Amino acid sequence: MDRTSTPAVELDGVTRRYGETTAVGDLSLSIQDGEFFTLVGPSGCGKTTTLRLIAGFEDPTQGGIRFGGESVTGVPPEDRDVGVVFQNYALFPHMSVGENVGYGLSFTDPPGGGSDEARVRELLELVDLGEMADRDPDTLSGGQQQRVAMARALAPGPDVLLLDEPMSALDAKLRERLRVQVREIQQELGITTIYVTHDQEEALAVSDHVAVMHDGTPEQVAPPRTIYREPATEFVATFVGDNNVLSGEVTAVRSTDDADDNGDGSEQSIADVTVDDATFSVALNGDSDPTAAVSSGDRLTFCVRPERLAVDADRNALTATVTSAEFLGETTRVHLDWEGRELLLRTEDPPTGTVTVGFAPTDAHIVDRQP
């Protein structure tokens, strides 16, 4: 995806205040044409307010919003060419499924110049509800209602589709199926889509880019794999999936071509970080801020994903006590106590009692540096 072209949706220094409360603060985002972009974060982080600002249901206190390079700040929702799927779907109970889907066509012609009836049939087929045009919405399952709401939002052919936690009321298995279907529909239509969710797994599964929101601003905007593997901050590291976060003082910085440090024998910059009475080797190459020179005496905070901890490892080894284990099917999440700190291990063969675990220096990722 060409991120140098004119963004489909752009927020430039957008702030939204309610009295003394700042819901969104100095937010800048660029969302490309045809992109599936997700805002994820805990309750109260500003993600839904951001979506409402894009839709035009809220006006920014300051800053600007552009669609395709043209300002839409102050433009009412009905003139923004967006389709919105709300959390509660908001289907009209006195209308049939087909009438719900065709509601938006009462105010505009179908894209492509066809009839309203043909557009409704086309969209119901797209969402696998082709035989249900005459049904009442209250006879449908939650998943079917969600798809009707999506078809209704798509009927006028909007340039941008906005989805506000549309699966939050559904059970986990149904959410998994529907998120795949939503992604397939988005890709088939090539429509720019902005999705709001509090579910980190959902955000990683469907998105081209993810913005992890915290206190009204994004802590990190990146592709899902980067968000997971290279979190920019401690908040991102702990919010998106399980993580082990450790902090200590740098006692040495060195270069090495030891294959045990990086796996291939190429030169690697290593910081030795002392956490309490233990010293861990942490790779610096690929750090989220590679221009920041790390030196002895700095304080580094780094994280290691539970699946990157290895039992009976001899590098960066520590001895911990198993306190509990949760069987999750493919893996087991093992809770460890190390010197009063809780660590997490994911493994297919969970240990018991006392266990030695460790990690490669390249499996640690630095999330903060304090000189």
Q: What pLDDT does 261 receive?
A: 57
Listed in sequence order, the residues at least 6 apart from 362 whose beta carbon sits closer than 8 Å to its beta carbon are 261, 262, 263, 268, 283, 286
Q: Which CATH superfamily is domain 9-239 in?
A: P-loop containing nucleotide triphosphate hydrolases (3.40.50.300)
Listed in sequence order, the residues at least 6 apart from 219 whose beta carbon sits closer than 8 Å to its beta carbon are 212, 213, 232, 233, 235, 236
Q: What pLDDT does 4 receive?
A: 63
Cα–Cα dist 260/76, whole Å:
60
Domain limits, the chain: 9-239, 244-370
Residue 257 has pLDDT above 80, yes or no: no
Q: What pLDDT does 166 receive?
A: 85
Q: What pLDDT does 148 receive?
A: 92
DSSP structure class, residue 214: E
Residue 240 has pLDDT above 80, yes or no: yes
Mean residue pLDDT of the chain comes to 91
Share of the chain above pLDDT 70, in %: 94
DSSP 17-84: EETTEEEEEEEEEEE-TT-EEEEE-STTSSHHHHHHHHHTSS--SEEEEEETTEE-TT--GGGS-EEE
The 10s digit of each residue's pLDDT in 281-295 is 999 865 455 446 789
The 10s digit of each residue's pLDDT in 50-87 is 999 999 999 999 999 999 999 999 999 989 999 999 88
Q: Which token pair is 96?
A: 């049939």
Q: Locate tokens 């199926």: which residue?
A: 177
Q: What pLDDT does 134 receive?
A: 94
Across 261-270, 272-281, 306-315, 352-361, least confident range:
261-270
The 10s digit of each residue's pLDDT in 92-133 is 999 999 999 999 888 888 888 889 999 999 999 999 999 999
Q: What pLDDT does 291 receive?
A: 42
CATH 1.20.1070.10 fits domain 244-370 = no
- For residue 114, the number of C-alpha atoms closer than 13 Å in the C-beta half-sphere is 14
Polymer length of the chain: 371
The 10s digit of each residue's pLDDT in 344-370 is 999 999 999 999 999 999 999 999 999
